Structure 1
Amino acid sequence: MTKQGKNFTLLDIGPFEKLGERDSKGSGGKYFVGKDLGLTGCEVSLNRLPAGKAAPFVHAHKKNEELYIILGGNGTFFVDGNEFPVQEGSLVRVAPAGERAWKAGDADLYFICIQAQAGSLTQATSEDGMRLLTRASWMESLSAEK
């Protein structure tokens, strides 16, 4: 399901267990969402790697750093010859030149990978965010509770 408004796109792809059915690159569990969402500042992939399976190659990037957010399962990450365990709650940032690969452990490995050009972040949320007077429907009941 996709829904669009002036300033948003909603894409519902269903459970992560079914990522292989939405595979955008033919790898059996990787779904790039950038094009479908109209992303302009980063690329995002949703990933499911079956237990015991591994990335078939080591890769690096020319410009993009990557942030891997492990949502479930466990496995091993490889970066520049270093191998280390990952599990739900692990976060791995890899610089563009970092040589990377991963392998699922005894459970399917679920992760999100966010790619953005290294050095392109000029301000973080505290400098970029603006508090507005607009209210969401649930905020009225929260105000009445105080």
Structure 2
Amino acid sequence: MTIQQKQEALIDDFAFLENWEQKYEYIIDLGKDLKGLPDDKKTEENLIRGCQSKVWIDAHFKDGKLFFQADSDGILPKGIVAMLTHIYSGHTTQEILNADFKFIEKIGLQEFLSPSRANGLMAMTKQIKFYAVAFQLKN
């Protein structure tokens, strides 16, 4: 699936949920499915600045594609980072750089989050783009 197709699928999933309580539960469930990170990857280098909770994102490059692993000590941020890693993992750096994050607006996530959590979400998206730039320059 392309990044766009993954985003559209997520938008469709959220469209079936009737209220924010259900959407909140759905995000938490996504976090429960996240494999997480081994402790040796929960480093200062992988820690996302600006998040209320601790969130770590690690990336590795394989066969021309970027893959993300993530974890958080908070249930909601873990679900959010699970969404992001699902959408952007397994794609080329150029595909990631060309992609937008408009699906966040379409599912209404920013409206639902407190200002500090919205800042954390933006920090996560910036880190994913940063990894894409960094790996593009290396390869």
TM-score (norm 2): 0.22
TM-score (norm 1): 0.21
Structure with greater contact order relative to length (CA < 8 Å, sep ≥ 6): 2
Q: Please identify which structure carries the higher helix content.
A: 2
